[in-house]
Structure 1
Amino acid sequence: MSHQLNPYFQAGLDVMDQPCLVIGGEREAEEKSGRLLNAGARITVVSPALTPTLAEWVTTGRITHHQRDFENTDLDGVFLALNTINDDEALTAKVYKLAIAQRILINSYDNPTHSNFGMMALIHPGHLRLSISTSNASPALASRLRKDLEGLFDEEFVDYLNCLADARQRVRDKVTNRETRFALLRALVRDFRVEGELHYPAQWRKYAEALLNCELDACGTEGRCEDCPLVSE
């Protein structure tokens, strides 16, 4: 059985110097604010409380903070909004409705129904931006892939990519022949390879079948069913 999922249209969004709103002050807000900072956005965070890292960014002037709950006027003039609060359905619906009415890009954490764009798992060593999406089939798998791939791109890769950037600029400045430029730059990456293999959980089909056939009633009240094969090991 496979559900119809939104594959999204992958694109790089230019938020440089754009006003962006982050609702919430917990770990998810910190992670999303960090990504916006890396992209050069002007960030306002609305939350009664902040993580220590967010508080430090406020102190150093990197972000603006309104120490209160969300108000409708917080969306005025905003280019993009990220609602990182996922335990208040009424707030999520309200923010989404207001954002759509004002043609604002809105992402609600773990709630694609109340989002008009998706946030991909991101790997960003140096200049590289590698995004991972499972079309909301399994955000947990996207996170797992991100963690494993992050360990693959080491400091040497960052140095290598910096060298490629410098070489590309120098070649573009000095070499007028287009084919010669391409040949020189391709030579620098000719032998670059990424090699690896996938390791799947043992008996994953058995576990998936058990999950699909389980009523899951006890999971909401007791934490898990008795002798649940999914979490008993």
Structure 2
Amino acid sequence: MAENPAYPVGLRLTGRRVVVLGAGQVAQRRLPALIAAGADIHLVSPAATPSVEAMADAGELTWTRRPYEPGDLADAWYALIATSDTGANAAASAEAEAHRVWCVRSDDADAATAWTPATGHSEGVTVAVLTTNAKGRDPRHTAAIRDAVVEGLRDGTLVAPHHRTRTPGVALVGGGPGDPDLITVRGRRLLAEADVVIADRLGPRDLLAELPPHVEVIDAAKIPYGRFMAQEAINNALIEHARQGKAVVRLKGGDPYVYGRGMEEVQALAEAGIACTVVPGISSSISVPGAAGIPVTHRGVAHDFTVVSGHIAPDDERSLVDWAALAKLRGTLVILMGVDKIGAIARTLMAGGKSADTPVAVVQEGTTAAQRRVDATLATVAETVLAENVKPPAVIVIGEVVTVCPDSSPRASE
């Protein structure tokens, strides 16, 4: 007759006595989850791994430094038996059975009254996978199923719709520099759950193609502005859709707070009484140079880097940048939105004392299939950008790090 399958259940162990026998690698892997569950953990073992000992030192559990003794499982709700002594394990298992304590045995699953599932977590959901019977137990297969489900929930490829009424809200998501694989796991999941996506031109376009047909995608560049400024119109669109009870994602390129006007949108939503979740993104100021083989810092070459917006010319009275001070810095200068102003920027930096021979790299469409890199110097970058027909979006890197290549050794000076 076929063996009956295990009955899955979630134990609520907050404040309840849990006894762990043994403090080796098995206990080291299992203890964090018991600690997170709020269990009152009593560890019995003559020795422990450094990690388990650190848990005891931190007060996360009570450690009795001796082997198992009869009576150790008294008043326990749950027991984990993981010693290297088979006889002690059998005796403890018998005690657990006598006291009706759910007991997991690391050395003999068939003799246990409970099994530990392969677990994972995603946004308040615990995924637990159990093999149906002891004879067919394959921990690697169980873990693989767990990993596949959790990964699907995290990246949005496995979508479980919410059926409860949702609180209107907006998620401000940084989409990263362009490659759809460089959005955060949380950002991708929120996109998969969205009813409406309001996207910037520089947001990762390939991500929009993955959205289900029912999702309304609004190009922020095409919102009818009427009497409003562009940003105000976007703010109003976010508020309007959120008030309709929809899950709204505002998808931006890079990071929402790095020249993305993210805070303006958060402030507008706050004034309207609408909750907003901000999901940081990978900024193009670091990722695009990295994708082009340029480290913004490098030992012995640059100990600092400065990110500057170049959308306003240095001689414009609206500029908030101290270009003269930047010209004196020895570190890396990263300029965003500066393609059409690079001539004026280069001249201003040279006038401030930066060498005309300073290396410059311009990386267009960084991290995408259309990425290309153009190298120049501060003296030649303006004409090079024109000659090579470089178009936005592009990241400009100024400094000695431009010449660092993978086989370069760190310089002796620090």
Q: Same fold (TM over 0.5)?
A: yes
Root-mean-square deviation (Å): 3.1
44 and 189 in structure 1: CA distance in 2 versus 1, 3 angstrom threshold: farther
Deviation at 1:125, TM superposition (A): 3.0
Rounded Cα–Cα distance in structure 1 between residues aligned with 2:77 and 2:194:
37
**Equivalent position of 1:143 in the other structure:** 143
**Equivalent position of 1:51 in the other structure:** 49
Higher share in helix: 1
Query: Would you say 1:118 and 2:115 are equivalent positions?
Result: yes
Gaps of 5+ in 2: 169-192, 196-210, 213-414
Rounded Cα–Cα distance in structure 1 between residues aligned with 2:3 and 2:27:
25
148 and 53 in structure 1: CA distance in 2 versus 1, 3 angstrom threshold: farther
**Equivalent position of 1:107 in the other structure:** 104
Rounded Cα–Cα distance in structure 1 between residues aligned with 2:76 and 2:125:
27
Query: 2:82, 2:89 within 8 Å by CA — same for their partners in 1?
Result: no
**Correspondent of 1:134 among 131, 134, 157:** 131
Residue by residue over 1:99-133, the C-alpha shift from the partner in whole angstroms, topping out at 9 and shown as x without a partner, is 11112111111423321122111112341110111
**Correspondent of 1:40 among 38, 41, 44:** 38
131 and 83 in structure 1: CA distance in 2 versus 1, 3 angstrom threshold: same
**SS of residue in 2 equivalent to 1:75:** coil
**Map 1:67-216 → 2, pairs under 5 A:** 67-85=65-83, 87-135=84-132, 136=134, 137=136, 138-154=138-154
Amino acid at match of 1:144: A
Query: 1:92, 1:114 within 8 Å by CA — same for their partners in 2?
Result: no
Amino acid at match of 1:29: A
Amino acid at match of 1:39: A
Rounded Cα–Cα distance in structure 2 between residues aligned with 1:6 and 1:111:
18
TM-score (ref. length: structure 1): 0.61
Query: 2:21, 2:81 within 8 Å by CA — same for their partners in 1?
Result: yes
**SS of residue in 2 equivalent to 1:35:** helix
Rounded Cα–Cα distance in structure 1 between residues aligned with 2:20 and 2:72:
10
Gaps of 5+ in 1: 172-187, 193-233
Query: 2:17, 2:39 within 8 Å by CA — same for their partners in 1?
Result: yes
Query: Would you say 1:64 and 2:99 are equivalent positions?
Result: no
**SS of residue in 1 equivalent to 2:56:** helix
6 and 119 in structure 1: CA distance in 2 versus 1, 3 angstrom threshold: farther
TM-score (ref. length: structure 2): 0.36
Residue by residue over 1:167-215, the C-alpha shift from the partner in whole angstroms, topping out at 9 and shown as x without a partner, is 75x59xxxxxxxxxxxxxxxx68888xxxxxxxxxxxxxxxxxxxxxxx
14 and 189 in structure 1: CA distance in 2 versus 1, 3 angstrom threshold: farther
Rounded Cα–Cα distance in structure 2 between residues aligned with 1:43 and 1:6:
31
Query: Would you say 1:20 and 2:18 are equivalent positions?
Result: yes
Q: Which structure has the higher relative contact order (CA within 8 Å, separation 6+)?
A: 1
**Equivalent position of 2:302 in the other structure:** none
Rounded Cα–Cα distance in structure 1 between residues aligned with 2:49 and 2:109:
25
**SS of residue in 1 equivalent to 2:125:** coil
Rounded Cα–Cα distance in structure 1 between residues aligned with 2:194 and 2:94:
47
Query: 1:22, 1:84 within 8 Å by CA — same for their partners in 2?
Result: yes
Rounded Cα–Cα distance in structure 2 between residues aligned with 1:13 and 1:72:
25
Rounded Cα–Cα distance in structure 2 between residues aligned with 1:91 and 1:26:
15
Rounded Cα–Cα distance in structure 1 between residues aligned with 2:123 and 2:53:
25
**Correspondent of 2:28 among 23, 27, 30:** 30
Amino acid at match of 2:79: A
Residue by residue over 1:114-159, the C-alpha shift from the partner in whole angstroms, topping out at 9 and shown as x without a partner, is 21122111112341110111223112211233344454454x77xx
